[in-house]
Amino acid sequence: MSTEAEIKELEPWFHNIHLPDGNQTADNHFLGDFPAFKWKNIKDSIPQDLTGWKVLDIGCNAGFYSIELAKRGAEVTGIDLDEHYLKQARWTAKQFGLEDKITFKQMQVYDFAHSEEQFDLVWFMGVFYHLRYPMLAMDILSQKTTKMMVFQTLSLPGKEEMEIPEDVEFHKREIMKEDGWPKMAFIENKLAGDPTNWWAPNHQGILSMLESCGFKVTGMPEDETYIAEKDKDLKSSLETWNFSEYLSAVGKDWKKEVDKKTKK
Ligand SMILES: C[S@@+](CC[C@H](N)C(=O)[O-])C[C@H]1O[C@@H](n2cnc3c(N)ncnc32)[C@H](O)[C@@H]1O
């Protein structure tokens, strides 16, 4: 079968991938040359040589980012819940001869709460706002990340930032209505016709969530896209008072774990 016929058989595509033989998987994409136009801006913000790096690509879709990162020498795990996209991703990786560098698995982001694996780089683009439990996913993935996260989400318009106070007095909650206060809009019905869009955080909300998970944002190379580096001085609440809530949320025996921790 010709490459064109194979592309057709694997339709519909969300990633337009430029294959080594010159074919493209979705050359009439509604967003243009997606996601190549995003990658063009992000690519210089991560190391050119990823040899020895373990990378996790969450919601890998047809594997555009998994492939680019594997080309730089990384060992990549790409996960997606949709087997249709994983089939595309496996086929695409083969076209690049990168099938030995990338493992594609059908998984939910939350499944990583039950895995011991760690990753130098977690690629978390285009998934956060599709999650019903986004902060749980952030808490899970922050524990899997040793160096860096590349984070992207659909967001609220605006780029306001603010110094977040240590405490807010009970009767002074007006401050939370300020543009720069960290916020997340809940989408009860649909956004852009899509019922899987649940949340849209604002810019400061993204900075604050990342910080609360132990990341320092070091760059924003592309719209709505954040380079976040693990900062050992920032303590996630998971390491302090919120430990048992997290364990309970991921179905672990939190009483046993808390006993173990406090006996140390
Ligand atoms: C908007 S696409 C983003 C694809 C790619 N990450 C990107 O930035 O171009 C969202 C992808 O995440 C997958 N996805 C959505 N919810 C997920 C979940 N809970 N766990 C794993 N993958 C998920 C979808 O199947 C889809 O392939």
Ligand 1 pocket check for 108: Cβ under 6 Å: yes
d(CA 258, CA 263): 9
Please list, in sequence order, all residues whose beta carbon lies within 8 angstroms of the beta carbon of residue 247, skipping any fewer than 6 positions away. Answer: 253, 254, 257, 258
- pLDDT over 90 percentage in the chain: 89
User: Residue 122 pLDDT > 80, yes or no?
Assistant: yes
d(CA 73, CA 52): 7
- For 148-206, how does the pLDDT look when each residue is reduced to its tens digit (9 = 90+)? 999 999 999 999 999 999 999 999 999 999 999 999 999 999 999 999 999 999 999 99
Query: Which residues are 213's β-sheet partners?
Result: none
Intra-chain end-to-end CA distance of the chain, in Å: 62
The whole-number average pLDDT for the span 85-104 is 98
- For 10-55, how does the pLDDT look when each residue is reduced to its tens digit (9 = 90+)? 999 999 999 999 999 999 888 999 999 999 999 999 999 999 999 9
What is the distance in A from the centroid of ligand 1 to the CA of 87? 14
Ligand 1 pocket check for 82: Cβ under 6 Å: yes
- pLDDT at position 128 is 98
Domains of the chain: 49-159+170-233 (3.40.50.150)
Picking from 194, 171, 172, the residue whose alpha carbon sits closest to that of residue 181 is 172
Ligand 1 pocket check for 130: Cβ under 6 Å: yes
Handedness of CA 198, 200, 60, 3 (dihedral sign): positive
CA-nearest residue for atom 12, ligand 1, is 59
Going by the DSSP 8-state scheme, the letter that residue 260 receives in this structure is H
- For 196-248, how does the pLDDT look when each residue is reduced to its tens digit (9 = 90+)? 999 999 999 999 999 999 999 999 999 999 999 998 887 777 777 788 899 99
d(CA 209, CA 199): 13
